Amino acid sequence: MAATGDKSWAAAEMWKHFRNIEKNSYLPVNTTGHGYKGYLDTMVVDSGWINQKGGDGAEIFKQLAGVTGQTGNVSELIYRDINKEGAGRDEELGFYGLATHATKTTKRAGPAYYVKATLADAKKYPLTLQLNSLVTKVLFSNDSTPTAIGVEVLQGKSLYGADRRRKADVKGTATKIYAKKEVIIAGGAFNSPQILKLSGIGPADELKKFNIPVVKDLPGVGERLADNYETSYIALAANKKPLTGVGAPVALLLKTPTSPTKRRNIYAFCGAISFEGFWPGMPTEYGPSEFECAFVHMNPKSQAGYVRLRSADPTDTPDINFRFFEHGGDQDLTELLDAVKTVRSAFEKVAAPVTPWDEVHPCKGTNAKCSDEAQKEFIKNQAYSHHPTSTCAIGPASDKWAVLDSKFRVHGVKNLRVVDASAFPKIPGAFPVVPTMLLAEKATADILGTAV
């Protein structure tokens, strides 16, 4: 709301959208701030294992509670509602139930199921879903103000360069699809800016480099790419002792001593897991002695990445560079290391025979002494992410880097909107899945002119 002055982005209004989409299964019906009839199933991971008498898990979480200043029964703390409504919620710390977008039977829930359900009711909802189609550019009229009238599409399987099944000799069939009202792009933080640029909307110098006619010079298209930093602390019990009374992870929200605001800055999930990043074959399983707290850094200081064209070929992938840690990097690394130190201090308080832990990282070994610099270097080199945002950011037309107005409309053209995570001026929290769904729900109300 601060960026545009549009009151429809106020927290109270966004909570209405959340209630509209949620189908809550973990709280009593009519709990304030929640919905029960939407398309998005939400549940909390069962962490009953923590109540196992004499279990190692209960002791680990007792120590985690101690070092994070939590009082009370841990078995109750771990089921607190992380999605509760209310002022000051972003400053609250401690354990929470690990809420996820899934049904009671842990079946993943999300917009894809919503789309399928809509397609199944063709009489009520005349939706057409066309697969094997690669949008190459937006089509515009020749009016004084460029007006989007449709899209150009290549039809065929596996045409995009990121698809490993792609065959170089398959070119696809070009066709055009015209819009009756508006064109809405939802290609995500990587492909939405690519589509805009291929259509002539973006930094003029970049477009001219590839002989793309400039429809609208918008320097912010593809710039200010942002993401959360993610890392982890993982250790094995002494002598690879199999841990007892452990299971699915629990959420833990922290505010490190070096956080520049009053708000929590680290989202962690802790349990008998191994989650260290994204690569073929991940994760590495270390056996029944493993225990981990994985960290997501909220509000990182660096927002300097970009998505730029490699060529004017729409089947070519763009040049994507997050430029991690280039701005405010030491501050971000310090906050992440503080989170590691907090969790490590709790682990070290667990009694034998679980301890001494054999730390996997960031300070490898048993009773190892690593400098802050060495640990920061490990985190910097190992940091991973999967929450890209902000490459078509919302903001006022006076802002050089703004691409969209508060109603998702592209500045300087008509009948064209972008509705996906690229629209966020900054990363929303630690896990932008639900915020992106809320963004889509708000866009629906804006486009249809319906109140919430």
Query: Exactly one of 17, 101, 387, 411 is catalytic; which is it?
Result: 387
CA separation for the pair 355, 304 (Å, rounded): 42
Nearest to 55 by CA among 235, 234, 241: 241
Place of tokens 């493993």: 290
Own/partner contacts of 382-385, CB < 8 Å, gap of 24 or more, are 382/231, 382/276, 382/277, 383/229, 383/230, 383/231, 383/324, 383/325, 383/336, 384/230, 384/231, 384/276, 384/277, 384/278, 385/227, 385/228, 385/229, 385/230, 385/322, 385/324
Q: Please name the residue ranges forming H helices in 320-432.
A: 329-348, 372-382
CB atoms within 10 A of CB 117: 11
Strand 358-361 to 229-236 pairing: antiparallel
Interhelix angle 329-348/372-382, rounded to 10 degrees, is 110
Is the CB of residue 415 less than 8 Å from the CB of residue 139?
no
Distance between CA atoms of 76 and 82, rounded to whole angstroms?
Answer: 13
Cis link prior to 428 (omega < 30° from 0)? no
Tokens of 319: 């040049």
Q: Would you call 90 exposed, middle or buried from its count of C-beta atoms within 10 A (0-12, 13-18, 19+)?
A: middle
Contact in structure between 166 and 160 (CB atoms under 8 Å) = yes
The question of whether 17 is a catalytic residue gets the answer no
Q: Which residues are catalytic?
A: 387
